[in-house]
C-alpha cells in the first residue's frame, strides 16, 4: 500500500517526496478531478493525501470518496501556510454531529 499526494503547493509536495511519497501538483478543478480519478484507479494507492485548498474546490467528490468503502482512504492535510479551518473546528463538528456542547 502506497501513499499519494495531490497538492497545489511545490513545497508541500517536495517535503512529502523527501519522505518517499509520490504526488502531483494541480491547480484547476479539472486537473484535481483528473488526479483524483487517476489515484483512485491505481490499486497500489491506499492513502490519498490532499491539501485543504484543493479539497475545498471539490467537496462533493471528496465526500463521495470518503463514503465509499473501497481504497484509497482520503486524508486532508494543511499546506505550508497552515490550517485553513477555524480553531474550534473539531468542537463545532462534534456539536453539529451529535448535538453535544463541549
Instruction: Output the domain CATH number for residue 64.
Output: 3.40.50.10580
pLDDT tens, residue by residue, 65-98: 888 877 799 999 887 665 666 666 566 656 666 7
Q: With contact defined as beta carbons under 8 Å apart, do 54 and 7 qualify?
A: yes
Q: With contact defined as beta carbons under 8 Å apart, do 15 and 23 qualify?
A: no
pLDDT of residue 78: 83
Sheet strands side by side (includes 45-51):
22-25, 2-7, 45-51, 73-77
**Cα 79 from Cα 83, distance rounded (Å):** 7
The vertex-80 CA angle with 11 and 60, nearest 5°, equals: 100
Average pLDDT across the chain, whole number: 85
Note down the domain range covering 38.
2-98
pLDDT of residue 86: 63
Domain count along the chain: 1
Amino acid at each position: 500500500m502506497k501513499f499519494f499526494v495531490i497538492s497545489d503547493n511545490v513545497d508541500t509536495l517536495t517535503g512529502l517526496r523527501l519522505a518517499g511519497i509520490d504526488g502531483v501538483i494541480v491547480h484547476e478543478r479539472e486537473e484535481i478531478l483528473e488526479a483524483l480519478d487517476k489515484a483512485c484507479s491505481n490499486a497500489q494507492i491506499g492513502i490519498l493525501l490532499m491539501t485543504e485548498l484543493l479539497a475545498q474546490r471539490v467537496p462533493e467528490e471528496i465526500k463521495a470518496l470518503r463514503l465509499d468503502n473501497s481504497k484509497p482512504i482520503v486524508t486532508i492535510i494543511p499546506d505550508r501556510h497552515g490550517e485553513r479551518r477555524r480553531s474550534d473546528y473539531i468542537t463545532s463538528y462534534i456539536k453539529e454531529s451529535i448535538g453535544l456542547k463541549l
